[in-house]
Amino acid sequence: MILIKTVLGNIGEPAWAARLSTANIDLMEIDQWEAQKSRFRKTTAKGAEVAVSVDRSTHIRDGDVLLWDAEALSALVVRIELRDVMIVHLDHLTSLAPEVAMRTCVELGHAMGNQHWPALVKNNVVYVPLTVDRKVMASVMKTHRFDGISYEFVPGREIVPYLAPHESRRLFGGAEGPVHSHAHESYADIDETGRAYGHPPLHVHAHSGTSSHEQTSPAMTGSAHDHRE
């Protein structure tokens, strides 16, 4: 049994991304609810038994490095499966008459409230975590056909880099905690062989539309600023 008492860093940090680029990585997969716990046991992808016992103020994040062996070039990294997020784009409302835009926003809020959907509004985007099946949420949006609004479904891990910690907790129930560094100029992921590789941050582009419809592109509206604390 391997006992984990602290988090060493995160694969999203440039220094760790470079260090792990040639390392043999074992993954510990947890869900967003387990990520809220300070004590739990898991079996890694390679069969190692791990007991996590961290400080209660520590939040386990996707990509956290829990073990590092410099001689063996091996590491244990956390992977958190976050729920998908529906992104509702409001940017086109600015081109409509004020009374139409206001009515649409009220109708959108009323519809989401009736469904008891939690939501986070940031700039001209509304983020709604999937609490029911995607088809059900899409059906609600298509039924109302809100003027000047479009929407899309995006994996939760693509949203996280653009949210402050408290915003992440609102969307994912505490799966994201404070980050370990302020600047994230490069990111890394892990392939099926257990190797880490770098990739540039997700870029954010503007969407617009004249009616409610589902987008197929995973891009988001707004400016690509790192709001992590």
Residues sharing a CB contact under 8 Å with residue 1, sequence separation 6 or more, in sequence order: 49, 50, 51
Distance separating alpha carbons of residues 13 and 180, to the nearest angstrom: 8
Question: Where do the structural domains in the chain lie, given as residue ranges?
Answer: 2-80, 84-173
Written as six digits, the tokens of 56 are: 């209660």
Written as six digits, the tokens of 129 are: 């975590």
pLDDT at 12: 86
For 2-80, the fitting CATH number among 3.20.20.140, 3.30.70.1520, 3.40.50.2300, 2.60.260.20 is 2.60.260.20
At residue 210, the 3 state secondary structure works out as coil
pLDDT in tens, the chain (229 residues): 999 999 999 998 999 999 999 999 999 998 877 887 889 999 999 999 999 999 988 878 889 999 999 999 999 999 887 888 999 999 999 899 999 999 999 999 999 999 999 899 998 999 998 888 889 999 999 999 898 899 999 988 788 777 887 787 778 764 444 333 322 323 344 444 444 444 333 333 333 333 444 443 333 433 333 333 3
Exposed, middle or buried, 133 (CB in 10 Å: 0-12/13-18/19+)?
exposed
pLDDT at 197: 40
Helices (H), 116-207: 134-144, 156-159, 165-172
Q: Contact at 8 Å (CB) between 76 and 44?
A: yes
pLDDT at 16: 95
pLDDT at 86: 94
CATH 3.30.70 fits 84-173, yes or no: yes
